[in-house]
Amino acid sequence: MGKMEEFITKQTCQGANKVFPAPPPLPGPATNCRRKGSLMKNGSAIRGNNCAATATRALWDRLFDGGYKTDVIIKTDNGGIICAHSNILGMASPVLRGMLKQAKGFGHRRPISIHIHGVPQDAVRAFIRFLYSSSYEKEEMKEFVLPLLVMSHTYVVPQLKRVCEQQLEHGLLTIENVVDAFQLSLLCDAPRLTLITHRMIVMTCKAVRETEGWKAMKKSNPALEKELLESMMDEEHGSDIMMQKEKNRKSNEQRIYLQLCEAMEALVHIFRDGCRTIGPHDKDLKEHQTPCDYGDCCKGLELLVRHFASCKLRVPGGCIHCKRMWQLLELHSRLCTDSNSCRVPLCRNLKEKIRKQSKKDEIKWKILVKRILRTKRIGGASIFVSSNSNSSP
Protein backbone atom coordinates (compact mmCIF):
# COMPACT_ATOMS: atom_id res chain seq x y z
CA MET A 1 0.00 0.00 0.00
CA GLY A 2 2.92 2.37 0.65
CA LYS A 3 3.99 2.19 -2.98
CA MET A 4 0.40 2.74 -4.12
CA GLU A 5 0.03 5.93 -2.05
CA GLU A 6 3.42 7.19 -3.19
CA PHE A 7 2.44 6.49 -6.79
CA ILE A 8 -0.72 8.57 -6.47
CA THR A 9 1.10 11.61 -5.11
CA LYS A 10 4.43 11.55 -6.97
CA GLN A 11 4.66 11.45 -10.77
CA THR A 12 7.35 13.09 -12.93
CA CYS A 13 7.92 13.54 -16.65
CA GLN A 14 10.33 14.81 -19.26
CA GLY A 15 9.69 15.77 -22.90
CA ALA A 16 10.31 17.94 -25.98
CA ASN A 17 8.80 19.88 -28.89
CA LYS A 18 8.65 18.20 -32.27
CA VAL A 19 5.79 17.70 -34.73
CA PHE A 20 4.87 14.12 -35.61
CA PRO A 21 2.10 12.92 -37.94
CA ALA A 22 -1.20 12.58 -36.06
CA PRO A 23 -2.33 8.98 -35.44
CA PRO A 24 -5.76 7.71 -36.55
CA PRO A 25 -8.68 9.20 -34.59
CA LEU A 26 -9.42 7.73 -31.17
CA PRO A 27 -12.48 5.50 -30.79
CA GLY A 28 -15.58 7.59 -30.22
CA PRO A 29 -18.01 7.21 -27.30
CA ALA A 30 -19.02 3.59 -26.99
CA THR A 31 -22.75 4.03 -27.62
CA ASN A 32 -23.07 0.30 -28.27
CA CYS A 33 -21.42 -0.75 -25.03
CA ARG A 34 -23.69 -2.67 -22.70
CA ARG A 35 -23.45 -2.59 -18.91
CA LYS A 36 -22.63 -6.30 -18.50
CA GLY A 37 -19.64 -6.39 -20.82
CA SER A 38 -21.31 -7.27 -24.12
CA LEU A 39 -21.68 -5.21 -27.29
CA MET A 40 -24.48 -4.83 -29.79
CA LYS A 41 -23.93 -4.92 -33.53
CA ASN A 42 -26.81 -5.14 -36.01
CA GLY A 43 -29.08 -6.19 -33.19
CA SER A 44 -26.94 -9.12 -32.01
CA ALA A 45 -24.62 -9.37 -29.03
CA ILE A 46 -20.84 -9.50 -29.38
CA ARG A 47 -19.15 -10.92 -26.30
CA GLY A 48 -15.93 -9.35 -25.06
CA ASN A 49 -14.25 -7.17 -22.46
CA ASN A 50 -14.05 -4.00 -24.50
CA CYS A 51 -16.06 -0.93 -25.42
CA ALA A 52 -15.14 -0.81 -29.11
CA ALA A 53 -15.95 -3.03 -32.07
CA THR A 54 -13.65 -6.03 -32.56
CA ALA A 55 -12.04 -4.68 -35.74
CA THR A 56 -11.40 -1.28 -34.16
CA ARG A 57 -9.93 -2.89 -31.09
CA ALA A 58 -7.58 -4.99 -33.20
CA LEU A 59 -6.44 -1.89 -35.12
CA TRP A 60 -5.53 0.01 -31.96
CA ASP A 61 -3.89 -3.03 -30.42
CA ARG A 62 -1.68 -3.40 -33.51
CA LEU A 63 -0.72 0.26 -33.32
CA PHE A 64 0.25 -0.16 -29.66
CA ASP A 65 2.06 -3.50 -30.08
CA GLY A 66 3.83 -2.44 -33.28
CA GLY A 67 5.10 0.83 -31.84
CA TYR A 68 4.88 2.58 -35.22
CA LYS A 69 6.36 6.11 -34.95
CA THR A 70 6.10 6.25 -31.19
CA ASP A 71 7.40 9.42 -29.56
CA VAL A 72 6.99 8.67 -25.83
CA ILE A 73 8.94 6.31 -23.61
CA ILE A 74 7.22 5.23 -20.41
CA LYS A 75 9.74 4.04 -17.82
CA THR A 76 8.51 1.62 -15.14
CA ASP A 77 10.02 -0.19 -12.18
CA ASN A 78 13.06 -2.45 -12.67
CA GLY A 79 14.12 -0.60 -15.82
CA GLY A 80 11.06 -1.51 -17.88
CA ILE A 81 10.24 0.58 -20.98
CA ILE A 82 6.95 0.94 -22.86
CA CYS A 83 6.69 2.93 -26.10
CA ALA A 84 3.58 4.97 -26.89
CA HIS A 85 2.21 7.89 -28.93
CA SER A 86 1.88 11.27 -27.25
CA ASN A 87 -1.23 12.20 -29.27
CA ILE A 88 -3.12 9.17 -28.00
CA LEU A 89 -1.96 9.53 -24.40
CA GLY A 90 -2.90 13.21 -24.40
CA MET A 91 -6.35 12.59 -25.82
CA ALA A 92 -7.10 9.72 -23.42
CA SER A 93 -5.90 11.37 -20.20
CA PRO A 94 -5.89 15.08 -19.29
CA VAL A 95 -3.18 14.40 -16.70
CA LEU A 96 -0.88 12.78 -19.24
CA ARG A 97 -1.63 15.64 -21.63
CA GLY A 98 -0.46 18.12 -19.01
CA MET A 99 2.68 16.08 -18.32
CA LEU A 100 3.49 15.99 -22.02
CA LYS A 101 2.97 19.74 -22.39
CA GLN A 102 5.22 20.36 -19.42
CA ALA A 103 7.88 18.10 -20.85
CA LYS A 104 7.76 19.91 -24.18
CA GLY A 105 8.07 23.22 -22.37
CA PHE A 106 11.34 22.07 -20.83
CA GLY A 107 12.76 21.69 -24.34
CA HIS A 108 13.60 18.02 -24.06
CA ARG A 109 14.22 16.12 -27.26
CA ARG A 110 12.10 13.31 -28.57
CA PRO A 111 11.29 10.74 -27.46
CA ILE A 112 9.69 12.16 -24.34
CA SER A 113 10.20 10.18 -21.13
CA ILE A 114 7.43 9.61 -18.59
CA HIS A 115 7.99 7.74 -15.34
CA ILE A 116 5.29 5.52 -13.82
CA HIS A 117 6.60 3.84 -10.68
CA GLY A 118 5.02 1.94 -7.81
CA VAL A 119 3.06 -0.55 -9.94
CA PRO A 120 4.17 -3.62 -11.97
CA GLN A 121 5.29 -3.06 -15.54
CA ASP A 122 2.61 -5.45 -16.86
CA ALA A 123 -0.03 -3.37 -15.08
CA VAL A 124 1.29 -0.20 -16.75
CA ARG A 125 1.20 -1.98 -20.12
CA ALA A 126 -2.42 -3.05 -19.53
CA PHE A 127 -3.27 0.54 -18.58
CA ILE A 128 -1.67 2.03 -21.70
CA ARG A 129 -3.34 -0.62 -23.88
CA PHE A 130 -6.72 0.44 -22.47
CA LEU A 131 -5.98 4.04 -23.46
CA TYR A 132 -5.54 2.83 -27.04
CA SER A 133 -8.39 0.34 -27.52
CA SER A 134 -10.66 0.75 -24.47
CA SER A 135 -10.21 -2.99 -23.89
CA TYR A 136 -8.55 -5.35 -21.46
CA GLU A 137 -7.73 -9.02 -21.01
CA LYS A 138 -9.58 -10.93 -18.30
CA GLU A 139 -6.41 -12.35 -16.79
CA GLU A 140 -4.74 -8.93 -16.68
CA MET A 141 -7.78 -7.38 -15.05
CA LYS A 142 -7.92 -10.19 -12.49
CA GLU A 143 -4.23 -9.81 -11.60
CA PHE A 144 -3.89 -6.01 -11.76
CA VAL A 145 -7.35 -4.65 -10.92
CA LEU A 146 -6.08 -2.63 -7.93
CA PRO A 147 -3.09 -1.02 -9.75
CA LEU A 148 -5.41 -0.27 -12.68
CA LEU A 149 -7.88 1.38 -10.30
CA VAL A 150 -5.09 3.57 -8.93
CA MET A 151 -3.80 4.57 -12.37
CA SER A 152 -7.30 5.26 -13.70
CA HIS A 153 -7.86 7.67 -10.81
CA THR A 154 -4.40 9.24 -10.92
CA TYR A 155 -4.51 9.91 -14.67
CA VAL A 156 -8.28 10.66 -14.77
CA VAL A 157 -9.54 7.84 -16.99
CA PRO A 158 -13.13 7.51 -15.69
CA GLN A 159 -14.11 4.75 -18.12
CA LEU A 160 -11.39 2.43 -16.81
CA LYS A 161 -12.17 3.45 -13.23
CA ARG A 162 -15.79 2.37 -13.66
CA VAL A 163 -14.67 -0.93 -15.17
CA CYS A 164 -12.34 -1.64 -12.23
CA GLU A 165 -15.04 -0.80 -9.67
CA GLN A 166 -17.56 -3.04 -11.45
CA GLN A 167 -15.09 -5.91 -11.73
CA LEU A 168 -14.30 -5.71 -8.02
CA GLU A 169 -17.97 -5.55 -7.13
CA HIS A 170 -18.90 -8.54 -9.31
CA GLY A 171 -16.25 -11.10 -8.47
CA LEU A 172 -12.68 -9.81 -8.07
CA LEU A 173 -13.13 -8.69 -4.46
CA THR A 174 -11.75 -11.37 -2.13
CA ILE A 175 -10.91 -11.81 1.53
CA GLU A 176 -7.23 -11.34 0.66
CA ASN A 177 -7.55 -8.05 -1.20
CA VAL A 178 -10.60 -6.44 0.44
CA VAL A 179 -8.53 -4.38 2.92
CA ASP A 180 -6.29 -3.01 0.16
CA ALA A 181 -9.34 -2.32 -2.00
CA PHE A 182 -11.00 -0.49 0.91
CA GLN A 183 -8.00 1.78 1.49
CA LEU A 184 -7.60 2.48 -2.23
CA SER A 185 -11.30 3.28 -2.59
CA LEU A 186 -10.81 6.05 -0.01
CA LEU A 187 -7.76 7.42 -1.82
CA CYS A 188 -9.37 7.12 -5.26
CA ASP A 189 -12.71 8.75 -4.37
CA ALA A 190 -14.83 5.63 -5.06
CA PRO A 191 -17.69 5.90 -2.50
CA ARG A 192 -19.67 2.92 -3.74
CA LEU A 193 -16.61 0.67 -3.60
CA THR A 194 -15.88 2.04 -0.13
CA LEU A 195 -19.32 0.98 1.09
CA ILE A 196 -19.04 -2.47 -0.51
CA THR A 197 -15.58 -3.20 0.86
CA HIS A 198 -16.44 -1.82 4.29
CA ARG A 199 -19.51 -4.06 4.45
CA MET A 200 -17.46 -7.10 3.40
CA ILE A 201 -14.79 -6.39 6.03
CA VAL A 202 -17.39 -6.10 8.76
CA MET A 203 -19.27 -9.22 7.69
CA THR A 204 -16.11 -11.35 7.41
CA CYS A 205 -14.10 -9.72 10.19
CA LYS A 206 -12.49 -12.89 11.61
CA ALA A 207 -11.09 -14.05 8.27
CA VAL A 208 -10.07 -10.54 7.18
CA ARG A 209 -8.06 -9.92 10.35
CA GLU A 210 -5.81 -12.89 9.47
CA THR A 211 -4.81 -11.51 6.07
CA GLU A 212 -1.54 -9.78 5.19
CA GLY A 213 -3.50 -6.72 4.07
CA TRP A 214 -4.96 -6.23 7.55
CA LYS A 215 -1.56 -6.67 9.20
CA ALA A 216 0.00 -4.10 6.85
CA MET A 217 -2.84 -1.64 7.51
CA LYS A 218 -2.42 -2.15 11.26
CA LYS A 219 1.18 -0.93 11.01
CA SER A 220 0.69 1.88 8.50
CA ASN A 221 -2.70 3.25 9.57
CA PRO A 222 -3.69 2.28 13.14
CA ALA A 223 -6.44 4.94 13.23
CA LEU A 224 -8.17 3.28 10.30
CA GLU A 225 -7.86 -0.11 12.00
CA LYS A 226 -9.48 1.33 15.12
CA GLU A 227 -12.39 2.69 13.09
CA LEU A 228 -12.95 -0.68 11.44
CA LEU A 229 -12.74 -2.52 14.75
CA GLU A 230 -15.43 -0.22 16.13
CA SER A 231 -17.57 -1.02 13.11
CA MET A 232 -17.02 -4.73 13.74
CA MET A 233 -17.99 -4.37 17.39
CA ASP A 234 -21.18 -2.59 16.42
CA GLU A 235 -21.97 -5.46 14.05
CA GLU A 236 -21.25 -8.13 16.67
CA HIS A 237 -23.58 -6.49 19.19
CA GLY A 238 -26.27 -5.86 16.60
CA SER A 239 -28.66 -8.22 18.43
CA ASP A 240 -29.46 -5.45 20.87
CA ILE A 241 -32.76 -3.90 19.78
CA MET A 242 -31.82 -0.29 20.43
CA MET A 243 -28.49 -0.63 18.66
CA GLN A 244 -30.17 -2.33 15.74
CA LYS A 245 -32.68 0.49 15.44
CA GLU A 246 -29.89 3.07 15.54
CA LYS A 247 -27.92 1.15 12.95
CA ASN A 248 -30.95 0.98 10.67
CA ARG A 249 -31.55 4.68 11.09
CA LYS A 250 -27.97 5.54 10.17
CA SER A 251 -28.07 3.13 7.27
CA ASN A 252 -31.23 4.74 5.92
CA GLU A 253 -29.73 8.20 6.34
CA GLN A 254 -26.56 7.13 4.57
CA ARG A 255 -28.58 5.67 1.71
CA ILE A 256 -30.52 8.91 1.37
CA TYR A 257 -27.32 10.96 1.35
CA LEU A 258 -25.80 8.60 -1.21
CA GLN A 259 -28.89 9.07 -3.38
CA LEU A 260 -28.50 12.83 -3.05
CA CYS A 261 -24.84 12.51 -4.10
CA GLU A 262 -25.94 10.56 -7.16
CA ALA A 263 -28.67 13.12 -7.88
CA MET A 264 -26.10 15.95 -7.79
CA GLU A 265 -23.84 14.07 -10.23
CA ALA A 266 -26.79 13.28 -12.50
CA LEU A 267 -27.85 16.95 -12.45
CA VAL A 268 -24.42 18.06 -13.64
CA HIS A 269 -24.43 15.25 -16.22
CA ILE A 270 -27.75 16.43 -17.70
CA PHE A 271 -26.81 20.10 -18.05
CA ARG A 272 -23.17 19.53 -19.04
CA ASP A 273 -23.31 16.40 -21.22
CA GLY A 274 -26.99 15.93 -21.97
CA CYS A 275 -29.00 12.73 -21.61
CA ARG A 276 -31.55 11.25 -23.98
CA THR A 277 -33.81 14.17 -24.97
CA ILE A 278 -32.60 16.85 -22.60
CA GLY A 279 -29.32 18.74 -22.31
CA PRO A 280 -27.26 21.68 -23.59
CA HIS A 281 -28.29 23.26 -26.88
CA ASP A 282 -24.91 22.41 -28.43
CA LYS A 283 -25.27 18.65 -27.84
CA ASP A 284 -26.65 16.17 -30.37
CA LEU A 285 -29.21 14.25 -28.28
CA LYS A 286 -30.94 11.02 -29.27
CA GLU A 287 -33.98 9.68 -27.45
CA HIS A 288 -33.02 6.01 -27.93
CA GLN A 289 -29.32 6.30 -27.13
CA THR A 290 -27.63 3.93 -24.69
CA PRO A 291 -28.76 4.59 -21.08
CA CYS A 292 -26.29 6.56 -18.98
CA ASP A 293 -24.68 5.34 -15.76
CA TYR A 294 -27.22 7.14 -13.57
CA GLY A 295 -30.22 5.12 -14.77
CA ASP A 296 -33.53 5.85 -13.03
CA CYS A 297 -32.05 8.80 -11.14
CA CYS A 298 -31.30 10.59 -14.41
CA LYS A 299 -34.71 9.72 -15.83
CA GLY A 300 -36.47 11.06 -12.75
CA LEU A 301 -34.47 14.29 -12.88
CA GLU A 302 -35.28 14.68 -16.56
CA LEU A 303 -39.02 14.54 -15.80
CA LEU A 304 -38.58 16.95 -12.90
CA VAL A 305 -36.64 19.44 -15.06
CA ARG A 306 -39.30 19.32 -17.79
CA HIS A 307 -42.03 19.97 -15.24
CA PHE A 308 -40.03 22.81 -13.70
CA ALA A 309 -39.61 24.45 -17.10
CA SER A 310 -43.33 24.40 -17.92
CA CYS A 311 -45.06 24.74 -14.52
CA LYS A 312 -47.06 27.94 -14.05
CA LEU A 313 -46.65 27.82 -10.25
CA ARG A 314 -42.85 27.74 -10.43
CA VAL A 315 -42.32 29.65 -7.20
CA PRO A 316 -40.88 28.10 -4.01
CA GLY A 317 -43.81 26.59 -2.11
CA GLY A 318 -46.27 26.90 -4.99
CA CYS A 319 -45.81 23.37 -6.34
CA ILE A 320 -44.37 20.34 -4.55
CA HIS A 321 -42.41 19.24 -7.64
CA CYS A 322 -41.01 22.71 -8.27
CA LYS A 323 -40.13 23.01 -4.58
CA ARG A 324 -38.12 19.81 -4.87
CA MET A 325 -36.35 21.17 -7.94
CA TRP A 326 -35.50 24.42 -6.15
CA GLN A 327 -34.05 22.40 -3.28
CA LEU A 328 -31.88 20.31 -5.64
CA LEU A 329 -30.62 23.42 -7.42
CA GLU A 330 -29.75 25.12 -4.13
CA LEU A 331 -28.01 21.99 -2.85
CA HIS A 332 -25.96 21.86 -6.06
CA SER A 333 -24.99 25.52 -5.72
CA ARG A 334 -23.72 24.87 -2.19
CA LEU A 335 -21.62 21.91 -3.36
CA CYS A 336 -20.38 23.55 -6.57
CA THR A 337 -16.90 25.06 -6.33
CA ASP A 338 -16.88 26.93 -9.65
CA SER A 339 -20.22 28.59 -10.29
CA ASN A 340 -18.71 30.90 -12.93
CA SER A 341 -18.15 28.03 -15.37
CA CYS A 342 -20.95 25.75 -14.08
CA ARG A 343 -23.64 24.91 -16.65
CA VAL A 344 -26.34 24.07 -14.12
CA PRO A 345 -29.03 26.81 -14.27
CA LEU A 346 -29.17 29.41 -11.50
CA CYS A 347 -26.02 28.12 -9.82
CA ARG A 348 -24.41 31.54 -9.57
CA ASN A 349 -27.65 33.32 -8.71
CA LEU A 350 -28.41 30.93 -5.89
CA LYS A 351 -24.93 31.41 -4.45
CA GLU A 352 -25.71 35.13 -4.20
CA LYS A 353 -29.06 34.36 -2.58
CA ILE A 354 -27.41 32.02 -0.05
CA ARG A 355 -25.44 34.92 1.42
CA LYS A 356 -28.72 36.66 2.34
CA GLN A 357 -30.39 33.70 4.03
CA SER A 358 -31.26 33.65 7.71
CA LYS A 359 -28.83 32.06 10.12
CA LYS A 360 -31.32 29.31 10.98
CA ASP A 361 -31.75 28.21 7.37
CA GLU A 362 -28.00 28.46 6.77
CA ILE A 363 -27.27 26.08 9.66
CA LYS A 364 -29.72 23.48 8.32
CA TRP A 365 -28.17 23.59 4.85
CA LYS A 366 -24.63 23.35 6.21
CA ILE A 367 -25.55 20.26 8.21
CA LEU A 368 -27.07 18.65 5.11
CA VAL A 369 -24.02 19.45 2.94
CA LYS A 370 -21.67 18.16 5.63
CA ARG A 371 -23.55 14.87 5.94
CA ILE A 372 -23.69 14.37 2.18
CA LEU A 373 -19.93 14.78 1.95
CA ARG A 374 -19.51 12.37 4.86
CA THR A 375 -21.19 9.56 2.93
CA LYS A 376 -17.95 9.18 1.01
CA ARG A 377 -16.04 8.71 4.25
CA ILE A 378 -17.97 5.99 6.11
CA GLY A 379 -19.42 7.78 9.10
CA GLY A 380 -17.48 11.02 8.76
CA ALA A 381 -14.20 10.01 10.46
CA SER A 382 -11.40 12.43 9.66
CA ILE A 383 -9.12 9.60 8.52
CA PHE A 384 -11.36 8.81 5.57
CA VAL A 385 -9.73 11.22 3.11
CA SER A 386 -11.44 11.95 -0.22
CA SER A 387 -9.81 13.52 -3.22
CA ASN A 388 -12.91 15.73 -3.63
CA SER A 389 -12.42 18.78 -1.42
CA ASN A 390 -15.73 20.51 -2.22
CA SER A 391 -17.25 22.35 0.68
CA SER A 392 -20.25 24.49 1.28
CA PRO A 393 -19.89 28.27 1.05
Q: Where among 91, 118, 136 does a domain terminate?
A: 136
Q: State which of 106, 136, 166 marks the end of a domain.
A: 136
Distances (CA, A) of 221 to 215, 224, 228: 10, 6, 11
**CATH no. for residue 119?**
3.30.710.10
Of residues 9 and 283, more confidently modeled? 283
| Cα–Cα distance list, 343 to 36, 271, 337, 349 (Å) | 31, 6, 12, 12
- Position 154 pLDDT exceeds 90: yes
| Structural domain includes residue 334 | yes
What is the DSSP annotation of 72-139? EEEE-GGG-EEEE-HHHHHHH-HHHHHHHHHHHHTTPPSSEEEE--SS-HHHHHHHHHHHHHSB--HH
pLDDT (0 to 100) of residue 340: 77
Q: Is the pLDDT of residue 386 over 60?
A: no
Q: What total of structural domains would you count in the chain? A: 2
- Does residue 95 belong to any structural domain of this protein? yes
In a domain, 344, yes or no: yes
Read off the pLDDT band of 378 (50, 70, 90).
very low
Inside any domain, residue 89: yes
pLDDT in tens, 233-290: 776 665 466 667 777 888 888 788 888 888 888 888 888 777 766 766 566 666 556 6
Residue 191, in any domain of the structure: no
Query: Cα separation of 172 and 241, whole Å?
Result: 35
Asked if the structure places residue 262 within a domain, the reply is: yes
What pLDDT band is residue 314 in, cutting at 50, 70 and 90?
low
| Boundaries of domain holding 82 | 53-136
As a whole number, mean pLDDT of residues 40-64 equals: 63
In a domain, 125, yes or no: yes
Q: Which CATH number belongs to the domain containing residue 314 in this structure? A: 1.20.1020.10
Domain C-terminal end among 77, 106, 136:
136
Angle, alpha carbons 52-39-277 (nearest 5°): 90
Q: What is the pLDDT of residue 145?
A: 94
The pLDDT assigned to 6 comes to 57
Claim: this prediction has a pTM higher than 0.85: no
Task: Tell me the mean pLDDT in the region 167-194.
Answer: 92
Mean pLDDT on 369-377 = 72
**Residue 155 binned pLDDT confidence (cut-offs 50, 70, 90):** very high
Average pLDDT, the chain: 76
